[in-house]
Structure 1
Amino acid sequence: MIKKNLFVLFVISLMSTGVFAQHNVSLNIDGVASEQGNICFAVYNDEGSFLKFDKVYKSGSEKALKGKTSFDITDLPEGDYAIAIFHDANGNKNLDTNMLGIPKEQIAFSKGKMKMFGPPKYKECVFTVNSNMEMNISLN
C-alpha cells in the first residue's frame, strides 16, 4: 500500500513539474497592410498535414492592426510545429488566390519564405517548442 501511494505521489509530482507542460508562442506579425479583416493562422505538427486545411493542428484569427499585429497561440505541448499565416483583408475566412493559385492576400510562414513556384516545405518552416517563446514574422 505504501509503495502504491509513493507511486501516485511520484506521478503527481512529475505532472506538476512540467512533464506534460503546455507552452505559448507569442507572435508578432509585421507588415500588416491595413486594419481590415483578420490575421488568420494555422499550426501544423507534421509534414503530412502541412498546408492541408482539413488537417490543421490548431487555428484561429485575430483582428488585424495596421503595421503590427500581436497575439498568442496557447497550450502547445513540446514538439515541432510550422505556422502558416495570412491577412484575410476581406473577412471571407479564405485565402484568396488568382486563377493561377497565387495568393492575392498577404501570407507568411514560420521561418520559411514563399518560393517562385509555391509555398515552402514543412521542414523549411518547422521550429521546436520546448518552452514559452516569441516569434517575429513578416507578411509578404
Structure 2
Amino acid sequence: MKGRTAAFAVAAGLLAASPALADQGCAGVRAANSSRLVVQVAGVRPAVGEVAITVYPDDKRRFLAKGGKLARQRVRAAASVRACFWLPQGSYAVAVYHDRDGDRDFDRTLVGLPAEGFGFSNDPETKTGLPSLSAVRFRVGPGERLAPIQMKYLR
C-alpha cells in the first residue's frame, strides 16, 4: 500500500509540474518552439455577454473566413479582458467582437453595419469597411507577445 501511495504522489507531482497543465488558461499546446500571445481587449461596454477573441494565420484566404481560424477563446465580458494562446513563431491576425447577447454570432443591423462591438490587432481604421490582412498582421517572436486591441462600437 505504501508503494502505491508513493507512486501516486510522484505521478501527481509530475502532473502538477506539467507545463501544459500549468498553462490551462492558454489555448493551444505549449511546445518547445511555442510563443505565448496575450490579447488584451479594452473598452468593452457594457460588461454583459462575452468577448470572442479569434486568431487567424497569415493567409488572406483564411482571414475572417468561415473555418479559417487557428484558435478562439470566449471570455466573460468586462471593461478589459485578456486571453492567451500558445502559437509557433510567425505572423498572425486577431479579430474580436463583443457578443452581448451570447448567441455566438456577430450581429449586424438591417443595413449590414456591426450591431456589436468589434476590433482587430493593430487597431486599424474601419470606417470604410473591413481591414486587410496586411493592416492587422503582426509578428510573434520568441517569448511572449502582447496584442492590445481597443473595442469599437458604432452606436
| SS of residue in 2 equivalent to 1:118 | coil
Alpha-carbon distance in structure 2 between the residues aligned to 1:80 and 1:121: 14
Q: 2:65 aligns with which of 25, 47, 52?
A: 52
The answer to whether the Cα contact below 8 Å between 1:108 and 1:114 also exists between their aligned partners in 2 is no
Q: Taking structure 2 as the reference length, what is the TM-score of the superposition?
A: 0.72
| SS of residue in 2 equivalent to 1:83 | strand
Q: Match for residue 141 of structure 2? A: 130
The share of aligned pairs that are identical, in percent, is 24
Q: 1:88 aligns with which of 95, 99, 103?
A: 99
Deviation at 1:114, TM superposition (A): 4.4
Q: Match for residue 118 of structure 2? A: 107
Spell out structure 1 runs of 4+ moving beyond 3 A: none
Instruction: Say yes or no: does 1:120 pair with 2:131.
Output: yes
RMSD over equivalenced CA pairs, Å = 1.6
Q: Match for residue 25 of structure 2? A: none
Q: Taking structure 1 as the reference length, what is the TM-score of the superposition?
A: 0.79
Instruction: Say yes or no: does 1:24 pair with 2:36.
Output: yes
For residues 37-89 of structure 1, give each alpha carbon's deviation from its aligned partner in whole angstroms, at most 9, with x where no partner exists. Answer: 11101111111101112111111211111x211221x2200111000000101
Instruction: Say yes or no: does 1:38 pair with 2:12.
Output: no
Alpha-carbon distance in structure 1 between the residues aligned to 2:116 and 2:56: 20
Gap regions ≥5 residues in structure 2: 1-30
| SS of residue in 2 equivalent to 1:28 | strand
Alpha-carbon distance in structure 2 between the residues aligned to 1:23 and 1:135: 13
Deviation at 1:119, TM superposition (A): 0.9
Gap regions ≥5 residues in structure 1: 1-18
Number of positions where the alignment pairs a residue of Structure 1 with one of Structure 2:
120
Alpha-carbon distance in structure 2 between the residues aligned to 1:91 and 1:50: 23
| SS of residue in 2 equivalent to 1:36 | coil
